[in-house]
Amino acid sequence: MVKQRVIPVIEKNDLLLLKRSLQSHIGKKVRLTSKKGRKKAVVRQGIIESTYPSIFIIRLDNPSPEDCENRRVSFSYTDVLTKSVEIVVYKPTKAQS
């Protein structure tokens, strides 16, 4: 008996749901975790600035020294769907409400 490997398929519906979700969180603070290789990940914080048909833009709160010129970073929606980038939206505190 041959074992079959199941490969998850990204559907158009998933993409639409992700885009709508990010659009509803424009202006909110998020934490991004970008996978940069085998055991390396970069964690950043910022605010969702805008969304476009293929990408979304995050304005970084405190860019690292290597990002001194880049206060804004962009990611594609497929980065999130393929889990290359993880996004966590912070809940607003009472002071922010």
In the chain, what are the domain boundaries?
A: 49-97
Q: Write out pLDDT tens, residues 64-93.
A: 666 556 689 999 998 998 889 999 998 877
> What's the whole-model pTM score?
0.74
Q: Which two tokens stand for residue 52?
A: 């476009």
Region class of 37: left (phi > 0), else alpha (psi between -120 and 50), else beta: left
Radius of gyration of the chain (CA): 16
- CA–CA distance, 15 with 33 (Å, rounded to integer): 19
- CA–CA distance, 41 with 25 (Å, rounded to integer): 24
